[in-house]
Structure 1
Amino acid sequence: MAVAGRLDRMERPRLYEQVVERLLDHVIDQQLEPGDRMPPERDLAESLGVSRATVAQALVALEVLGVIDVQHGSGAVLRYRPSNAAVLRGLREHTNRLPDIVDARSAVETKIAALAAARRTEEDLERIEAALNLMAEDIDAGGRGLKGDEQFHAAVTAAAHSSVLARMMTQISDLVRETRLESLSQEGRPERSLESHRAIVEAVRERDPARAARAMEEHIELVSDVAVLRPE
């Protein structure tokens, strides 16, 4: 007679995942359509009895999955109405692949930074500094600096003058966007990320490959510290 195998312990959903489910229920209950706005974070936190930080983490998760769009000064806007099961599956997949994305960025972008310091032209440096300024202006205005951050890394990649590495970065751009949203949505992170960008720029400006690689490695380490990977 066969003996039943040992059952694995069920994994308890994290609090922000429970909030995600409640937000999706709200979308259905209120019959929200694409283009409709979600309630403000403060109202959601009060209604659900959780901290604003937890609500913010849930909103970031939905933004990463493309369910909502978050713009500074406009709040969260619904992009489409997914099923709860699809979103929760997407959340788990996103969480599981984040460490691999960080490994890939660390391996590729540190080399890119070193090459950028060795090969950059004055025009490359101007584009890098312009992206840095764009990020700084957005952060000063209360934004997260997402567009400037994206342009900064693209400009550093272009300055490396390596078609293969540039192609690799293009191939993982959607995955990098996941870490960018996770990181820059955390309190105080845009300012810290901007400062680490400045360290990279200084090394590239001084044509110091070793220093540029080290600065990029430290930057990737900073941005990989995201709430979703921390134990509750």
Structure 2
Amino acid sequence: MGKDEYFQSFRENADNFICSLLPGISGHPQIQYSPGGLLFKVGNSNMQHVTSLSFLLLAYSNYLSHAGGHVSCGGGATASPAQLRRVAKRQVDYILGDNPLRMSYMVGYGPRYPLRIHHRASSLPSVAAHPARIGCKAGAAYYASPAPNPNLLVGAVVGGPSNSTDAFPDARAVFQQSEPTTYINAPLLGLLAYFSAHPDPAQQNGRD
């Protein structure tokens, strides 16, 4: 296979994957959208898929903008770079509170956010409030408590809704939904940086 054929094969596979993520175009059984517009992929900690796939949509849209191209989705359907950015922007907006629960899934952001995240340092009292040592098993009482975490882990993004109904229990025990992770936050950082500089997803550096 020559270089041109290899690139064309890569481009077709990339387009097919991107098309599988687009609402109204995707027919992929593992990719769904909740009634509130959240991308949903079967598995735990759904927000990891939301942030990483949104980052991928954004990166691919920028490539297409510079190449003057679009995504071919078969059956005559196409998607522009601006469409990809709009999907990514919609996911960011959902995470930050534009959703049926009006809840930001970033701790400390907005008027409503998760209060009982699955995070030991956030859920245990601080040394100032509890100078005595807290053993591993002694932490169970704090884990099971219905009270909000005493320490805000500001900026942490939790797993979020884990089904296609936009439901979120805000409970430490449901770690699949309430646990913050670096692999959720890392792609989101790139998305936030981009949309902070380019708030209008219809435009990218003055193009498309």
Q: TM-score, normalised by structure 2?
A: 0.29
Q: Write 1 or 2 for the structure with the bigger share of helix.
A: 1
Higher relative contact order (CA 8 A, sep 6+): 2
Structure 1-normalised TM-score? Answer: 0.27
